[in-house]
Structure 1
């Protein structure tokens, strides 16, 4: 009778080790991808204040609010602000016909060569986007009552001279973002998150557990 060949325990152990190494590599690779995405999303929030400071240093005015933008930027077609030192309008203003200061902020900083992006408001790529390709914007903070982008779990408006909001951020990134940039709780502090796809003023931050697979709007006060 012919003896049936099979795997030895050593061979099985080697196969299991190889499978374990492969799985470990996949998981580590995914972790690195997630970390890179969070870093890029965090960078979105961190670079916008740099645009403000750079413009103020260069022109002694607030981008979007600059009442002498035509002269400063050398473009007679650019819309100017009223120069009152506040950024009027909401972060999600997106119409090419919208003359709000929060919307024109982007054209001012781009024409000043402080930020990348097209300067033609009729271009389909005009709308600023975050690292995930979803809308991002800035507006005045709680010093202008109507511009409160989001309220925390206690009903208090997010604090900051300016509020930056980023749409379509997955919950798994929201969790890491808040740990990286704030207090680790997305319903308190300077970074708040709301599970919605409808940008609006006066959103309320979610007080429950963040769903890693859900889409959130994240607002950050600076």
Structure 2
């Protein structure tokens, strides 16, 4: 029973208690942000590694057989379980679009790149080219593809072009900064959107630029 002769007041938090709570909240937020930063950094490194590993595999195939994978005109006789339909014409070009690797049933040289690399034991993955999931996937779930340079990459110089899609803006910018100059519309690494006409339209930075952290981009490098 309450004592009628005694006054009661509710006790609030002291400044010290409030400060402790704020410090704890700050530490939790810092941990979350740092964790996200580490995740983004790991994804960017994975994309960079996918580019470098693809370059290495292609160079190893060319060094071994003196032809590009996909374009190899003798692939049907020197590689096991291959077919004449998926051998190349040997003209020194990987014909077709890098995106063909994600199109079920396509017989372009760009799609056959992965078959040749896998049958030569230079890459792992399925050799069932009828599958729509035939192309290798990057850390963001997008496809990885290869083709010879073409007008689709107007400002990207190099003989072969390797592209990956589904890369978020923040990851693409990290990759570009790591491998090149951090500028999406210049240098040996560029990223942007893929136009309806089948060409890379690089993003632009700055106040009036088109770059967005959250947008999914195609990122390409030439070698």
Check whether TM > 0.5. yes
**Unaligned runs of at least 5 residues, structure 2:** 1-6
Is the CA contact (8 Å cut-off) linking 2:148 and 2:159 kept in structure 1?
Answer: yes
SS at 2:182 equivalent: coil
1:101 aligns with 2:109: yes
1:149 to 148, 152, 157: 152
Change (3 A) 1:199 1:191: farther
Determine the C-alpha separation between the residues in 2 that align with 1:76 and 1:176.
Answer: 38
Paired position in structure 2 for 1:211: 212
* Among 126, 131, 141, the residue aligned to 1:133: 141
1:144 corresponds to? none
Q: What is the 5 A alignment of 1:73-88?
A: 73-77=79-83, 79-88=86-95
Alignment size in residue pairs: 211
1:128 match: secondary structure: coil
Q: CA deviation at 1:53?
A: 1.5
Q: Report the Cα distance in structure 1 between the residues aligned to 2:133 and 2:190, rounded to whole angstroms.
A: 27
TM-aligned CA distance change 1:64 to 1:199, over 3 Å: farther
Q: Where in structure 1 do 4 or more consecutive aligned residues deviate above 6 Å?
A: none
**Aligned-pair Cα RMSD in Å:** 1.8
Deviation at 1:158, TM superposition (A): 0.9
Among 10, 19, 25, the alignment partner of 2:16 is 10
What TM-score does the superposition give when structure 2 sets the normalisation length?
0.87
Whether 2:118 is the aligned partner of 1:110: answer: yes
Structure 1 position 206, deviation (Å): 2.5
Moved more, 54-63 or 65-74: 54-63
Q: 1:72 to 1:10 in 2, by over 3 A?
A: same
Equivalent runs, 1:45-60 vs 2, <5 Å: 45-60=51-66
What residue is the counterpart of 2:3 in the other structure?
A: none
Contact 2:193/2:200 (8 A) holds in 1: no
Runs of at least 5 residues in structure 1 that lack an aligned partner in the other structure: 142-146, 152-156
Q: Is the 8 A contact 2:135 2:145 kept in 1?
A: no
Cα distance between partner residues in 1 of 2:186 and 2:108: 29
SS of the residue 1:116 aligns to? coil
